[in-house]
Amino acid sequence: MKPIHAHIALILALLSVPGVSSAQAPAGGSSGGLWWEVSAAAGGMRLSCLLCDPTRELGPTASAAFGTYAGPSVRIGLEAGGWANDDEDVREKVYRAGLVGQLHPRPGSGLHLIGGLGWSGYRAELFSYDALRLTLGAGWDLPLIGNWVAGNRVLLDASSFASLKNDAGTVATSVGLSVLTFGVYVRKQ
């Protein structure tokens, strides 16, 4: 099984766990227990290896997520997104997909903590990188009208211990990839 297929199989297996896929919306949930959001951000990406450029490349990033409520202060769902940059005529891209969870530690507060697990893929001309990704971050919800919320957040996506490859084979091993983003979002609850 190719690495990307293994990650997709893991995500689908986690979604089939009882209690996760059948979670109910909190009291007062208005969209049948479902939520969705879109976000735009500025992001800095860095590959870490002996051959890699140590500077963080800046570029725009966008993502979308949807899911359900696992409790009054917990949202879970699926998310996907991408980051891009043109670096001296080389188009660099990072794709990501996976599970996301958002926890409001203090009811009534806009503060929420974000965690996720999924896949990250880096592409630049002939080079590719695919790895398991961990996401950590925090955000702040600002109520809009009705069930709409806007806000800002900071996220760190981090991957490690995968190989950077090209058409000839492995270029570097034990490569790390991180994308640090600061952005805004709109969510329908």
Q: What residue has token string 């007062």?
A: 28
Can you give the pLDDT at residue 89?
A: 84
**Cα–Cα distance list, 17 to 97, 111, 161, 168 (Å):** 19, 28, 28, 40
**Does 111 have pLDDT greater than 70?**
yes
Pairing of strands 127-143, 111-124: antiparallel
Does 3-188 carry CATH code 3.40.50.1950? Answer: no
In this prediction, residue 88 carries a pLDDT of: 80
Task: Find all residues with CB under 8 Å of 27, minimum gap 6, and list them.
Answer: 72
Locate the domains of the chain by residue range. 3-188
Mean pLDDT of 48-57: 89
Residue 78 identity (one-letter amino acid): L
Cβ partners under 8 Å of residue 115, min gap 6: 100, 101, 103, 135, 136, 137
Residue 48, pLDDT above cutoff 60: yes
Q: Rounded to an integer, what distance in angstroms lies between the CA atom of residue 29 and that of residue 10? A: 29
